[in-house]
Amino acid sequence: MLAASCCDRRMCVCPGPRRIAIPVRSSRLPLLSDAMPAPTHLFPLIRNCEISRICSTMCYCHHKHLCCLSSHFAHGHFRYAPQKKFAALYRPKENFYQFVHARDYASTPQRFYLTPPQVNSILKANEYSFKVPEFDGKNVSSVLGFDSNQLPANAPIEDRRSAATCLQTRGMLLGVFDGHAGCACAQAVSERLFYYIAVSLLPHETLLEIENAVESGRALLPILQWHKHPNDYFSKEASKLYFNSLRTYWQELIDLNSGETTDVKEALINAFKRLDNDISLEAQVGDPNSFLNYLVLRVAFSGATACVAHVDGVDLHVANTGDSRAMLGVQEEDGSWSAVNLSYDHNAQNEREVERVKTEHPKSEEKSLVKQDRLLGLLMPFRAFGDVKFKWSIELQKRVVESGPDQLNDNEYTKFIPPNYHTPPYLTAEPEVIHHKLRPQDKFLVLATDGLWETMHRQDVARIVGEYLTGVHHQQPIAVGGYKVTLGQMHGLLTERRAKISSVFEDQNAATHLIRHAVGNNEFGTVDHERLSKMLSLPEELARMYRDDITIIVVQFNSHVIGMIS
């Protein structure tokens, strides 16, 4: 029943395989597999006819292809088989509830669809735009501004985003962070990473000045100006702890004073590594405050990828850890759009990355290192912040968990040790940094988590954003010329073009526009409202099956300034 091959991704929105294949609470599908020793009272309910009904519920949003679940089931089967005991620990009641809920949903005859205004309010709930202020009627920055947006699939969303202007050095920092096994790590990284980068970039004198100010209790020079959506929050409780770690970092930088000018690439790498190190240390040391103690542990045991861009004049650096992606939108001379990758995905699809992991561990582990395209058969990204389960020794993990708070001990995930775990660390937060000199034809940069890239090809992303930013006027005009065209054909063509245009005008934010396409695109590459509405009407528990959290930042460049500098 479940063995059919997966249908085309673009046609049928398969749920992206979960980033981390650890039995977390919301995973319920393995229960359908015979390999799972599911509680007996549950089985009669979902057996026989019920199964097909549930499955069609899952797929109701689109085609009746059962196959679209198959990859997931298959994964689940293999993945969970060795860890039956965790599934057995599941609380059956919860699963029961979830199934009942799903069934209720399917048995409701009239389908509830969102209206276009409702769809818009969902899509626009998290949108944010920033325009670089002009001086004297001129914007001297190479960045015109940026649009960003998020669409949750997880509840709560596990993606984070950050944007800030460096005040003590020049340049702007923008980043997207994709958390897994919870949002704690992504949250911490989104709050802290830019400070680490900014500090790494600061010249010696400024560091001294800041240290002196802290020492004497004077007002601190502001380092970053944040550009935040009201929903983007910083944790107040941990700020003192985070600040102390940061201060230790700059004090070390002061002591180390190499006297050389700071190289951006090096600064980015150092900042990434240092922050990951601090996260790890804070978890090991713990905190007397029980709330904070639990927080630092949650941060360390969860994980996050990061894709950060630093723009200063024509110098664009992208530091990437994990499988979020940065893409440059380039306008060719004929007005068409092309995409240039500015980051490499750190996952099993990247051969160099697989190679790297293999060279870092003994030959004996070669087979167990990457399984089902996952690190140790578990983790999709091959680099990440946090995830101390893949970094610490088994002894350290046990010690920390045992001495940790009860909540930690209750959590099956933290207790469990990855299989074939012989030579940690298996995971690093060190980024790959790509430097690019901006040219006038480089019009925009898209930073997005894999939720976007799973559903859209980068070429389409470049075209959609490009056409959005330049306005639809760049749509090639139609000329009949000598061709034989009937009124009916022309009418069809024009109606289609108009539909395209109207979808552009609905959005004031390039990221929102991109999300609209990512979620609502039909086979023709135009937004299908019905489909969009169905996708957004999915109940919380189902949403994650059909899409991942999506976070997008679109940075628009100022071609005039870039042209003048270069």
Partner 1 sequence: QGGCGCPIPGGIQGQAGCGSGQPGLLVGDLHTAGELSDSSLTPGYEGWWWADLLLSSAGVQIHERTSVSHVSVQKGRVTGVETDRGHIKCQYFVNCAGQWAYELGHSGEEPVNIPLHACEHFYLLTHPLKEPLANNVPTVVDPDGRIYIRNWQGGILSGGFEKNPKPLFTEGRNQLEIHNLQEDWDHFEPLLSSLLRRMPNLEALQIMQLVNCPESFTPDMRCIMGESPTVRGYFVLAGMNSAGISYGGGAGKYLAEWMVNGYPSENVWPLDLKRFGTLQSSRTFLRHRVMEVMPLMCDLKVPRWDFQTGRQLRTSPLYDRLDAQGARWMEKHGFERVKYFVPPGKDLLDLDQSKTFYKPDWFDIVGSEVKCCKEAVCVIDMSSFTKFEISSTGDQALQSLQYLFSNDLDVPVGHVVHTGMLNENGGYENDCSIARLSKRSFFMISPTDQQVHCWAWLKNHLPEDSNLTIEDVTWKYTALNLIGPRAVDVLSELSYAPMTPEHFPSFFCKEMSVGYANGIRVMSITHTGEPGFMLYIPIEYALHVYNEVMNMGQKYGIRNAGYYALRSLRIEKFFAFWGQDLDAFTTPMECGREFQVKLEKGMEFVGQEALLEQKQNGVYKRFTMFILEDHDTDMDLWPWWGEPIFRNGRYVGKTTSSAYSYTLERHVCLGFVQHLDEKTGEELVVTTDFINQGEYEIDIAGQRFQAKAKLYPFSSLFAQRRRKDEVELSGYQRE
DSSP 57: H
Please give the Cα distance from 126 to 476 (Å, whole number). 33
Among residues 81, 281, 490, 564, the one that binds partner 1 under rule CB under 8 A: 490
Taking the complex as a whole, the smallest distance from the CB of residue 476 to partner 1 amounts, in Å, to 10
Give SS3 for 408: helix
Residues 6+ apart with CB under 8 A from 85: none
Taking the complex as a whole, the smallest distance from the CB of residue 484 to partner 1 amounts, in Å, to 6
Q: Does 471 bind partner 1 (CB under 8 A)?
A: no
Please work out the total of residues on this chain that contact partner 1, with binding judged by CB under 8 A: 18
Residue 156, preceding bond cis, omega within 30 degrees?
Answer: yes
Among residues 475, 522, 526, 559, the one that binds partner 1 under rule CB under 8 A: 475
* CA nearest to 490, candidates 313, 101, 498: 498
Taking the complex as a whole, the smallest distance from the CB of residue 468 to partner 1 amounts, in Å, to 17
What DSSP assignment string belongs to 493-532? HHHHHHHHHHHHHT-S-HHHHHHHHHHHB-TTSSB-HHHH
Q: Does 502 bind partner 1 (CB under 8 A)?
A: no
Which residue, 292 or 499, has its beta carbon nearer to partner 1?
A: 499
Which residue, 367 or 484, has its beta carbon nearer to partner 1?
A: 484
Taking the complex as a whole, the smallest distance from the CB of residue 496 to partner 1 amounts, in Å, to 10
Q: Does 482 bind partner 1 (CB under 8 A)?
A: no
Q: Does 335 bind partner 1 (CB under 8 A)?
A: no
Among residues 491, 502, 508, 540, the one that binds partner 1 under rule CB under 8 A: 491
Which residue, 74 or 472, has its beta carbon nearer to partner 1?
A: 472
> CA 121 from chain center: how many Å?
22
Note whether 432 and 320 are within 8 A (CB): yes
Which residue, 417 or 493, has its beta carbon nearer to partner 1?
A: 493
Q: Does 437 bind partner 1 (CB under 8 A)?
A: no
Taking the complex as a whole, the smallest distance from the CB of residue 253 to partner 1 amounts, in Å, to 58
Q: Does 486 bind partner 1 (CB under 8 A)?
A: yes
Give SS3 for 300: helix
Token couple for 224: 């970053």
Which residue, 340 or 499, has its beta carbon nearer to partner 1?
A: 499
Please give the Cα distance from 159 to 180 (Å, whole number). 9
Q: Does 479 bind partner 1 (CB under 8 A)?
A: yes
Q: Does 228 bind partner 1 (CB under 8 A)?
A: no
Q: Does 358 bind partner 1 (CB under 8 A)?
A: no
Q: Does 93 bind partner 1 (CB under 8 A)?
A: no
Alpha-carbon dihedral 413, 417, 420, 425, rounded to 10 degrees? 100
Token couple for 431: 């980024």
Please give the Cα distance from 100 to 48 (Å, whole number). 15
Among residues 498, 524, 530, 539, the one that binds partner 1 under rule CB under 8 A: 498
Taking the complex as a whole, the smallest distance from the CB of residue 491 to partner 1 amounts, in Å, to 5
Sign of CA dihedral 183, 78, 349, 417: positive
Give SS3 for 80: helix
Q: Which residue has the tokens 């940790």?
A: 404
Q: Does 505 bind partner 1 (CB under 8 A)?
A: no
Residues 6+ apart with CB under 8 A from 50: 103
The residue range among 265-273, 297-305, 383-391, 494-502 that interacts with partner 1, by the rule CB under 8 A, is 494-502
Give the β-pairing of 315-321 and 303-312. Answer: antiparallel
Q: Does 217 bind partner 1 (CB under 8 A)?
A: no
Residues contributing to the site for partner 1 (CB under 8 A): 475, 477-480, 484-488, 490-491, 493-495, 497-498, 501
